Amino acid sequence: MRFTVRAASLIFAASLTSACTAGGQAEGTGSPPAGRGSPGGAAVPITVAKVVQKPMPLQVRVIGAVEASSNVAVHAQITGELTSVHFTEGDDVKMGDVLFTFDRRPLESAMQQAEANLARDVAQAENAVAQAKRYADLAQRGIATREQVDTASANSAALQATVGADRAAVDNARVQLDYATITAPISGRTGALMVHPGNLVRANDASPLVLINQVSPINVTFAIPESQLPELKRYLAQGMIRVEAQPPSDAHASEGHITFVDNAVDQTTGTIKIKGSFPNQDHSLWPGQYVNVVVTLTVDRDAVVVPAAAVQAGQQGNYVFVIKPDQTAELRTVEVARGTSIETIIKSGVKPGETLVTDGHLRLVPGSRVSIKTDPTKAEAPKRDAPKTDATKTDATKTDATKVEQP
């Protein structure tokens, strides 16, 4: 009985082994799993784009800060009471506009006193000159001594010097009186008013009365890497370099030109400071604002341009897949000149008009057959049945009525 059970077990194991072997052979003769497209396999679906030739600018893109082309902190040059303010905070003022007026009465009194002293000393000086002449005449006739003549001459000269000092005092009093009226030294936009009428203002106080920023024209300061400095200097020597500044929240970009290149590279950051000037007539740029800066060094008129997605990086360098007329893919190495996040400029490797793969690279090998996918947004909408006209509906009604009348 034991022998029979053991024999049956051996026969079952042999049958199971044969079934597994047959299944393995059948599985080995089946089709390979799906993967990269082979030259003789099914067509790989892809998207494509054409190589185009068009003008492309050579640009440097950085972040910059807007600065006023000129700013002035207005201070008082005399001590006195502020009587009136002739502008409103935030007003645009022009050079020479009256901004502040101080109490003029003490200064006018000081000027009148200086003018009176001048008149007195002028009269004394004229009398001293006349006395000096008389003593000189008397000395020639032997009536006056030489000492008297010298004393009269010295007195006349001293009074002449006093007159000169009095004239300087009058001029100083006139200047102090002019300081009682403060005018705008530049044209620009006023800031917050620090002092209001009625306050006592001290001369040359630490706090200014108001700040004025010149915003038209205006400057934008930015920095570029020192590696791009030779190229910038080369194009700057050829002529004016255009620069654009655009605030992040504004769709409009202001145009200007480079006016300043710093005389040294910042060793801490490895960058060099550049400054551009903008007319800013519309006041779209504001001091202290951060902007996106685009420096256009030159424009390549015949650049060969492809979509950035078409260029792939491999062990041998950059490459693209070119679609040949027989709808097969050709792998071709290319040399990239420069590029952006959207487009890449090719130096060599492709020609304008050729078709490149922009999506589906992972399933391609050289010689793979391809199938170009259509853009679903451009597919034609399904045609709808035209609505029946009233005449059609009337005919159909008549037909139904005829069918009903038939016996």
Beta strands in 178-279 (DSSP E): 181-183, 188-190, 200-201, 210-225, 242-246, 254-261, 271-278
Domain CATH code at residue 362: 2.40.420.20
pLDDT score recorded for residue 375: 60
Q: What is the pLDDT of residue 377?
A: 52
Least confident range from 26-30, 154-158, 261-265: namely 26-30
Q: Are residues 219 and 296 in the same domain?
A: yes
Asked, for residue 370, whether it belongs to a domain, the answer is: yes
Q: Is residue 77 part of a domain?
A: no
Q: What's the pLDDT tens digit per position in 261-307? A: 999 999 999 999 999 999 999 999 999 999 999 999 988 889 999 99
Q: Is residue 318 part of a domain?
A: yes
171-184: b or e for each residue (b if 16 or more CB lie within 10 Å)?
A: eebeebbeebebeb
The answer on pLDDT for 406 being more than 60 is no
Residues 322, 291 share a domain: no
- pTM listed for this prediction: 0.66
Q: Are 65 and 298 in contact (CB under 8 A)?
A: no
In this prediction, residue 125 carries a pLDDT of: 92
Question: What is the spatial distance between Cα 341 and Cα 322, in angstroms, rounded to a whole number?
Answer: 21
Please state, in angstroms and rounded to a whole number, the distance separating the CA atoms of residues 146 and 136: 9
Domain membership of residue 131 as a residue range: 104-178
22 pLDDT higher than 80:
no
- The two three-digit tokens of residue 134, written as one number: 């008389």
Question: Looking at the structure, do residues 170 and 128 belong to the same domain, yes or no?
Answer: yes
Cα separation, 148 vs 215, whole angstroms: 70
Is the domain of 291 the same as that of 362? no
80: closest CA among 108, 99, 101, 102? 102
- Residue 33 is assigned to a structural domain of this protein: no
Going by the DSSP 8-state scheme, the letter that residue 181 receives in this structure is: E
- The pLDDT of residue 26 is above 60: no
Does 281 share its domain with 337? no
Domains contained in the chain, number: 3
DSSP letter for 165, please: H
